[in-house]
Amino acid sequence: MSEQKKHSAGERFRRWLNQDTDILEQQMIAAQMKAPAEVDPEEVEWRRQRLEEEAQEEQAVARRLEAFNEQKVPETSRFLYCCICVCICLAMIGMLLYTVTMLPKFAAEWDPTINEVPQRYIEKGLQETGAVNIVTGMILDYRAFDTLGESTVLFSAVMVVLLLLRMDAESDKYSTLAAAMRSMPHTDTFYEPKHDTILQHTAKILFPIAVLLGIYVVLNGHLSPGGGFSGGAIIGAGLVLHVTAFGFQDIRRFFTYKTYQRIVSAALLTYAVSKTYSFYTGANHLESGIPLGTPGAILSSGLILVLNICVGFIVACTVYVLYAVFRKGEV
Amino acid sequence: MTLVQNFPAFSILLTIICAVITSVLKRKSASVLTTLVIFVNLVMNFMVMIYTIRTGESYVYMMGHFPAPWGNEIRAGIFETVTMTVLLFVILFSYLGGYRWSAARIEPSKYNLYCVMVELSMLALLALIYTNDLFTAYVFIEISTLAAAGLVMAKQNGRSLVAGVRYMIMNLVGSSLFLLGVVILYTITGHLLMVPIHDAVAQLAETQEYRIPLDVTVALISVGLGMKSALYPFEKWVPGAYSNTTPTSSAMLSSIVSKGYIFLLIKIYIRVIGLPVIDMLGITDVMFVFGAAGMIMGSVNAIRAKTTRMMIAYSSVAQIGYIFFAIGLGTADGLMVALWHLIAHAATKSMLFISCAELNDASGNTHMRTALKGAFYRSPLAAAVFSLGAVNLVGLPLLSVFVTKFMMGQAAVALGGRHMVITLICLAVSTLLNLGYFMNTTVSFFVRDEASYTVHTPARLTKFSLIGFIALNLILGLCAAPIYEILLTGLSRFA
C-alpha cells in the first residue's frame, strides 16, 4: 500500500492501463490472506469430511438414478411417449400461432380493444385520479382491487417459500430434510463469508444509487413512468447486491426477518384498510373526501402516492426475502 | 345500498387483513384468529344469503368509484351466496376437524404460515365466487395455486414435496392456459368485465367474426380450469397431493380449491360466453367425453388403490368427472346439476377425509385399506361418519348425491338421443363401481375379528367437526328439494 501512495493518480492510471498493476490487487491479497486465518484446522477437517460424504451421497444418487433408468421400460413405448409429447407440443404451438394470425391487428382502426375503456382512462384519467401517469391511475385507482390482489400474490409467494424453505434449529426436529440441508456443503451456510473485492467495491457505489433510484421511481410513480412495482424491484435488487457483496452478517444490522414482517404487514394493512374505505365509499356512492391535489405536484393524486409506497415496500422486501431464503434458508 | 350488501366485499378484505396479521402471530393465536375469521365470514355470507333469498335479486358491487367497464366489480346473487355459505361451513369443519393432525405434524414455528395458507385459500375462493371481472379471477387463481401448493407441502416430508412439485407443474400449466384464454378474449372483445364481454361475444357469434380465436379461447379456458380441478386425463397430481398431506389440507384441496375453479368455469360459461354460444362452439361435447372417462377411470383406480386416502382421492377424480359430465350436457339443467354436485361433493369429500384420518389413527396409525377391519368397534363415531359419506357417494336416496344422479338422469332424458343413452349407461356403471369400493371398505368396518376392542375417543374439536359434517350432509340431503329450488331461481337470475 505504501508503495502505491508515492505515485500520482495519473501515474497510477497509466500503469493500470498498461496492465502493470491492479489497483485492487493489494486489497484482494489482503482479503485472501485474512480469509484462511479465520478458519481453524478442526473446521477444515470437518468441511473436508462433509465434502467427501456429499460426494459419496451424490454417487449413490447417481447409481440409483441409473438403476431406475435401466428398469424394464420397452424401448418402443419410450420412443412413442417422446413422439406423442413432441406432437402435442407442436400441435399446441401451431394452433396458438394460427390463432394469433387471426387476431385483430394491434392498434388498427378496427381493433376491438380501442373502445370506450381506454378512451376514458386517457381522456379523464388525470381529472378523475389526479395521476399524470395514466398507467398508475389505472392500476391503483380504476382497477385497484386487481392490484391489491397482485400484492397479495407476492405476499402469498413469500409465505409459501418461507413455509417450505425457512430452516432454523427447530426445523431439524421436524424434518430430516432440513437437518440434512443445514449441514450440506453445497448450501450457502457452508461457504460464507466470501471476500470478493471487485464485487464489494461495485456494491459500495451501486447500492446507494440503486436504493435512491428506487425511492425516486416509487415516489414519482404517479408523475412519470414507474411506480411501486418497478421501484420496489430496483430497491430489492440493491438489497440483493448488498447481501451478495457483504454477506448476511452485514445486512442483518438493518434488515432481519422481524423487519420484513413489520414492513410488509404494515404496508399490506395500510393498502387493504385504505382500499376498504375507498371501496365502501365508492360502492355506496359517497364522497371519499380525499383531496386529489394539484396534478403534477409530488403530494397529489389522493391515495395513489400512499399505495405506490406500500407496493414499493412489499415488492422490495419480497425480492430480497425470496433471494435470501432460497440462498440460505433464513432471512 | 344496505349494510348487508357490503358484506361480500368486506369478507374478502377482512380475509386479506387477517392473513397478514396471522403471518406475524404465534401458533396458538394464529389458529384462534383463523377460526375466528372463518366464522365471521360464515356469519357475513349467511346474512348476505338470507338477504339475496329474501329479495330474490342479485346486485353488483363496485370495488371503487368507477362502474363497469372501467373499474373492478364483484357480484352477489343467490347462486353465489348459497354456494359460498355451504363451502364456508366445509372450511370451518375441515380446519377444526384436522387441527389435531396439522398441529402435530407441522413445525410449531411454521404453524402460523399454515394458517395463512388456509386463509388465503378461503380468500381465493371468496374472490373466485364473487368476482365479476375475468382478470380479478386470474389474480385470485394465482393466489389459490400458491396457497394450495403450501397446503400440499406443509408436512415437508419427501412424498409431500414430490406431490407438491407435481401439483405446481400441472397447475401452472393450467393457469397459463387460462391466462392465454383471457388474453385472447380481451383482444377480440376489448373488455375484462364479464357483462361487457358477454355482449361483445354475443355480437361476435352473430357475425361469426373472429370465430377461430373464440373457439380457441373457450377451449383454453375450459382445459386450463379442467386441469386445475383434476379433470380426468390431467388428474395425475391428485393421488399424491391428496393422500400425502395433512387431513385439513386434503379436505381443503378436494372441497375448496378445486371447487373454486369449477364454479368459475360455470360462471364463465353462463355469464361470459353465454350458453347459446357455448352450444354453438360444441366445447360441451368434449367435456362430456372427458367427464364420462373421469367417472369410470376414477372409480377403477379407486378400486385398485391400496390406502384409504388414495381411494378417496381417486374417488374425487370420479366425482369431478360427474361435475364435468353434467356441464357437458350443455343445458341449463346440466349446469344446475353440476353446481349441485359441486356443493354435495364438497360437503361429503371433506367429511370422508377427516373421518378417514380419525379411523386411521384409531386403527394403529396405518393407511392401508385392509387395516380398517373392525374399525367401527374402535372408533364408532368416525366409522359412522365415513359410512354416511360412502353411502351418500354411492347414491342412497334421501342424501345429496342421489339428487345429483336423479337430476342428471332427468336432464339427460330431457335432452334425449345419444346423450341420454350414454348418461344412463355411465350413471349405472359408475354407481356399480362406487358400490364396489365404498361398500367393500364400509362393510369391513363392521367385521368383528378380535375378541375385544379398545375404543378410541376422538379429540374434542374433531368430534365437533364430525358432528357438524353429519348435520351439513343431512341438511343437504333431507332439504334437497327446497335448496335445489332456491338454486334454480338463482340460476335464472345468474345470466
Q: Is the pLDDT of residue A193 over 60?
A: no
Round the average pLDDT of chain B to a whole number and report it: 91
- B127 at interface of A, judged by CB pairs closer than 8 A: yes
3-class secondary structure, A160 = helix
Any idea what the Cα angle at residue A244 is, between residues A242 and A247, rounded to 5°?
85
Which one of A128, A151, A279 makes the best mutation probe of the B interface by having the most chain B beta carbons within 10 Å? Answer: A279
Residue A173 pLDDT: 66
A293 with B41: CB under 8 angstroms?
Answer: no
Residue whose C-alpha is closest to residue B130's, from A140, A147, A145, A278: A145
For B26, list phi and psi in degrees, rounded to 5. Answer: -80, 170
Q: Is the pLDDT of residue A192 over 70?
A: no
Q: Where are the alpha helices (DSSP H) in A252-286?
A: 257-283
Evaluated on CA atoms B266, B272, B275, B279, the torsion sign reads: negative
Task: Calculate mean pLDDT across residues B280-299.
Answer: 92
Task: Calculate mean pLDDT across residues B350-355.
Answer: 94
The Cα–Cα gap between A220 and A222 comes to: 5
Task: Calculate mean pLDDT across residues B112-140.
Answer: 95
Q: What is the per-residue pLDDT across B356-412, written as a single tens digit (0 to 9) for each?
A: 999 988 887 777 777 888 888 888 999 999 999 999 999 888 899 999 999 999 999
Segment 423-482 of chain B within 8 Å of chain A by CB: none
For B188, list phi and psi in degrees, rounded to 5. Answer: -95, -15
The Cα–Cα gap between A9 and A5 comes to: 9
Residue whose C-alpha is closest to residue B123's, from B8, B228, B21: B8
Q: Is the pLDDT of residue B17 over 80?
A: yes
Least reliable range by pLDDT among B78-87, B218-227, B419-428, B453-462: B453-462
Residue B184 pLDDT: 93
The Cα–Cα gap between A133 and A120 comes to: 14
Q: Is the bond preceding A193 in cis, omega lying within 30 degrees of 0?
A: yes
- Residues of A within 8 A of B120 (CB-CB) are 152, 156, 159
- Residues of A within 8 A of B146 (CB-CB) are 153, 156-157, 160
Segment 16-45 of chain B within 8 Å of chain A by CB: 16-17, 19-21, 23-24
Shortest distance, CA A105 to any CA of chain B (angstroms): 10
Cell 335448496 found at: B483
Strand partners, B75: B60
Q: Chain A residue with minimal CA distance to B2? A: A284
- Tell me the domain boundaries of chain A: 7-38, 132-331
Bigger pLDDT: B57 vs B229: B229
Cβ pair B187:A104 closer than 8 A: yes
Which one of A113, A160, A166, A274 makes the best mutation probe of the B interface by having the most chain B beta carbons within 10 Å? Answer: A160
Burial of B485 (0-12, 13-18, 19+ CB in 10 A): exposed
- Residues of A within 8 A of B114 (CB-CB) are 163
Cβ pair A128:B110 closer than 8 A: no
Cβ pair A273:B184 closer than 8 A: no
- B110 at interface of A, judged by CB pairs closer than 8 A: yes
Residue A169 pLDDT: 67
The Cα–Cα gap between B305 and B290 comes to: 21
**A66 contacts: CB under 8 Å, gap ≥ 6:** none
- Residues of A within 8 A of B176 (CB-CB) are none
Q: Is the pLDDT of residue A136 over 80?
A: yes
Q: Is the pLDDT of residue A34 over 70?
A: no
Task: Calculate mean pLDDT across residues B253-263.
Answer: 94
The Cα–Cα gap between A308 and A301 comes to: 11
Cβ pair B114:A163 closer than 8 A: yes
Q: Is the pLDDT of residue B123 over 90?
A: yes
Round the average pLDDT of chain A to a whole number and report it: 83
Residue A76 pLDDT: 86
Residue A191 pLDDT: 58
Cβ pair A275:B13 closer than 8 A: yes
Grid cell in block for residue B462: 374433531
Q: What is the per-residue pLDDT across A232-246, written as a single tens digit (0 to 9) for each?
A: 999 999 999 998 888
Cβ pair A275:B17 closer than 8 A: no
Segment 41-70 of chain B within 8 Å of chain A by CB: 61-66, 69-70
Q: Is the bond preceding B380 in cis, omega lying within 30 degrees of 0?
A: no
- Residues of B within 8 A of A116 (CB-CB) are 69
Cβ pair B6:A280 closer than 8 A: yes
C-alpha distances in angstroms, B394 versus B339, B354, B388, B422? Answer: 18, 19, 10, 19
- Residues of A within 8 A of B213 (CB-CB) are 99, 102-103
C-alpha distances in angstroms, B182 versus A143, B133, B185, B216? Answer: 17, 11, 5, 11
Task: Calculate mean pLDDT across residues A106-112.
Answer: 81
Q: Is the pLDDT of residue A186 over 60?
A: no
Q: What is the per-residue pLDDT across B214-234, written as a single tens digit (0 to 9) for each?
A: 999 999 999 999 999 999 888
The Cα–Cα gap between B363 and B358 comes to: 9
Cβ pair B64:A141 closer than 8 A: yes
* Number of neighbours of residue A241 by Cβ within 10 angstroms: 17
Shortest distance, CA B22 to any CA of chain A (angstroms): 10
* Number of neighbours of residue A201 by Cβ within 10 angstroms: 14
Cell 400512499 found at: A306
Shortest distance, CA A122 to any CA of chain B (angstroms): 12
> Where does the pLDDT of residue B457 fall: very low under 50, low under 70, confident under 90, or very high at 90 and above?
confident
- Residues of B within 8 A of A279 (CB-CB) are 9, 13, 62-64
Residue A181 pLDDT: 63
A287 with A281: CB under 8 angstroms?
Answer: yes
**B232 contacts: CB under 8 Å, gap ≥ 6:** B290, B291, B293, B294, B297, B298, B317, B320, B321
Q: Chain B residue with minimal CA distance to A106? A: B187
Task: Calculate mean pLDDT across residues A39-55.
Answer: 71
Least reliable range by pLDDT among A18-27, B210-219, B227-236, B250-259: A18-27
Task: Calculate mean pLDDT across residues B194-221.
Answer: 91
> Where does the pLDDT of residue B10 fall: very low under 50, low under 70, confident under 90, or very high at 90 and above?
very high
Residue A1 pLDDT: 44
pTM (whole model) above 0.95: no
- Among B72, B143, B186, the residue with its CB nearest the CB of A153 is B143
Q: What is the per-residue pLDDT across B428-456, written as a single tens digit (0 to 9) for each?
A: 999 999 998 888 888 888 888 777 788 88
